Structure 1
Amino acid sequence: MIWLLVLGVLAAVVATPFVIEHSRSVMSDGRRGSAPGRFVELGQGVAHYHLAGPATGPLVVCVHGLTTPSFVWAPLTKGLVALGFRVLVYDLYGRGFSDRPEGLHDKAFFNRQLDDLLSHLDIDEPFHLIGYSMGGAIAAGFAATYPARVRRLVLLASAGMTIRDTPRLRFIRTRGKAGKWLMLAAFPIQMRRGIRAEQTAQIVPPEIIEGQEAQLIFQGFIPAVMSSLRGILAKPMEGEHMALRRIGLPVLAIWGAEDGVIPASAMGQLAAWNRDVTHEVIEDAGHGLPYTHTEAVLTLIAGFLPAPDSDDWGHDT
């Protein structure tokens, strides 16, 4: 009888993370009712987006990171719109108010979402592209795939240079359902610790903290993070960045000197792949550049992008 009890306990331990995930709230039309912005049914599911600024302004597309949906861009969007830019932000699948489709979240997956969204909006003119954290890897991948569509690229604390490699991450990336079990069991604790650590190190707007924590309420968020770890974040973006150098795309990379998520070595790695990148370091910044150091980031971006009222804003080579 003891062995039956032991088996029962083991079965409960194995099942619990999956049961908790299944019990989380499902992203639905009701949940989306109070969300700002708009929604569209694309090829992989419903996507949430927001388009702001003058219709005649040069377009800036912003891609968020692994765990922070499009609300992370709110402070920077206001500044860019005030400068005369038109700004498109959207929730990557698995985050925010967008759907949670299954499948590997690799470069092709993210390229398709952005391409589908641009097609829906009838945007065919070249635009500026900004990527934050994992969004930097996504943005670099999109620009390398569609070089004629991107005028200038801005990377904020960008992923894709070095790969974080710990025993736990290797297990999650390579062990199938066992890796998913560990992800479901351990990630909520790790994410909440990361949020608290950032609060301690930096002044983080309360709406950013609340929005990050709210992601854990919804079914499909943690599997989406895991799928990105197994996909877009599973290998360095060396080929993509070397391709961007060959085509001569202007690139600005902004780093936080106190960033505990993206190591300082990432800047050196990107410089080795593309010596034409312009690098800027914000000395007292951590990883949350768009919302902790908005003014400093905005100043650097404004100095890099052609002004909306300049004669050459639509004529980058």
Structure 2
Amino acid sequence: MIWVYLILAAIIATPLIIEATRKRMGDKARATAPGQFAQLSQGITHYQWYGPGDGPVVVCVHGLTTPSFVWQGIAKGLAQMGFHVLVYDLYGRGFSDRPRGLQDRAFFLKQLNDLLEDQGVDNDITLVGYSMGAAIATTFAARAPRRVHELILLAPAGMVDLKKGILGFMARTPVIGTWLMLGLYPILLRKGLRAEKGNPTSVAGITDLQDAELNWCGFVPAVRASLAGILSEDLQEAHRLLHREDVPVLAIFGDKDTVIPLSSRDVLQHWNSDAQMAVIGGAGHGLPYSHTVDVLEKINGFVQHRD
């Protein structure tokens, strides 16, 4: 009978041991990182600037699992348009710190506000958010609409429930949810990455870079903290406020996206009838790196029209 208990204990302990023995983000890893680092109130944040220093500021906010390298193609394209582009790693991802706790809108807005203050950005900005980053950008714009010149949302989260099935159970269930997240989520993520392997991309080796995130301690808990946090929040009032405040909004969707379905467009249009909508044919959820040229064309048309 003791063998049964030992086997059960080993099964229970394995995901916890794997997480505890993953690589720790620190000075050694950061020595090879592009860009710079800022010591903010919640920890160290990795960031990078692109484009002319005197250009209008664009801030790009990445999504749930893919750090700021997701913006390489988009940021270079925006820089060529004359923008001064700031990209950064959300906490728990990339080269930024891994603070513990719930990752709700207050958590992410604190990081963004801290970074803007650290970088001396006090004029109005253009915000570009991708997936969960679109939810962060939306809540920032709703909190400070006069600071946002325009808001651009790529495959935006916030209109549909992303926590269905096993993901929802893992996000909202204490203890067992954490254990399942540590054990199952890497398998689920890698399955999705294998399906994208070999697809066209503006970010060289992006699936390998995305897979490598799983090697770092704190990444999977950060994903769970975001699922239980900002991705569980209702953004309807934030979008309605943007409509009332006349903040210009462009939302871009991929018609093959299985994460953010095209039905999200209709929900967003209902909440903000002034928001401009664009759909890129053949694009899935990775549209910022799989359909970079198309996305840049949509953005350029939007900002040129506004100018």
Partner of 2:186: 188
Q: Please list the CA deviations of residues 103-144 of structure 1 after superposition, one character each: whole Å capped at 9, or x if unmatched.
A: 110000000000000000111000000000110111001111
Report percent identity of matched pairs.
51
Give the Cα–Cα distance (whole angstroms) in 2 for the partners of residues 272 and 193 of structure 1. 34
Partner of 1:210: 208
Q: CA deviation at 1:300?
A: 0.7
Q: CA deviation at 1:235?
A: 3.0
Corresponding residue SS for 1:260: coil
Corresponding residue SS for 1:47: strand
Q: CA RMSD in A?
A: 1.3
Segments ≥4 residues shifted beyond 6 Å: none
- 1:155-234 correspondence to structure 2 within 5 Å: 155-199=153-197, 202-204=199-201, 205-234=203-232
Partner of 1:302: 300
Say which is worse superposed, 37-46 or 190-199, in terms of deviation.
Answer: 190-199
Partner of 1:250: 248
CA contact (8 A) 2:255 2:261 kept: no
- 1:1-317 correspondence to structure 2 within 5 Å: 2=1, 4-199=2-197, 202-204=199-201, 205-306=203-304
CA contact (8 A) 2:63 2:130 kept: yes
Aligned length: 306
CA contact (8 A) 1:172 1:179 kept: yes
Which amino acid counterpart does residue 203 of structure 1 have in structure 2?
P
Q: Please list the CA deviations of residues 47-98 of structure 1 after superposition, one character each: whole Å capped at 9, or x if unmatched.
A: 0000121111001000001000000000111111111110000000000000
Which amino acid counterpart does residue 96 of structure 2 have in structure 1?
S
TM-score scaled by structure 1? 0.94
Corresponding residue SS for 1:233: helix
CA contact (8 A) 2:162 2:259 kept: no
Corresponding residue SS for 1:30: helix
CA contact (8 A) 1:72 1:291 kept: yes
CA contact (8 A) 1:27 1:99 kept: yes
Give the Cα–Cα distance (whole angstroms) in 2 for the partners of residues 66 and 136 of structure 1. 10
Corresponding residue SS for 2:86: strand
Which amino acid counterpart does residue 281 of structure 1 have in structure 2?
V
CA contact (8 A) 2:62 2:133 kept: yes
Gaps of 5+ in 2: none
TM-score scaled by structure 2? 0.97
CA contact (8 A) 1:162 1:236 kept: no
Say which is worse superposed, 81-90 or 228-237, in terms of deviation.
Answer: 228-237
Going from structure 1 to structure 2, the CA distance change for 1:165 and 1:42 (only over 3 Å counts) comes to: closer
Give the Cα–Cα distance (whole angstroms) in 2 for the partners of residues 65 and 41 of structure 1. 22
CA contact (8 A) 1:172 1:182 kept: yes
Give the Cα–Cα distance (whole angstroms) in 2 for the partners of residues 141 and 238 of structure 1. 10
Corresponding residue SS for 2:93: coil
Q: CA deviation at 1:169?
A: 2.2
Q: CA deviation at 1:206?
A: 4.0
CA contact (8 A) 2:253 2:278 kept: yes
Q: CA deviation at 1:167?
A: 3.1
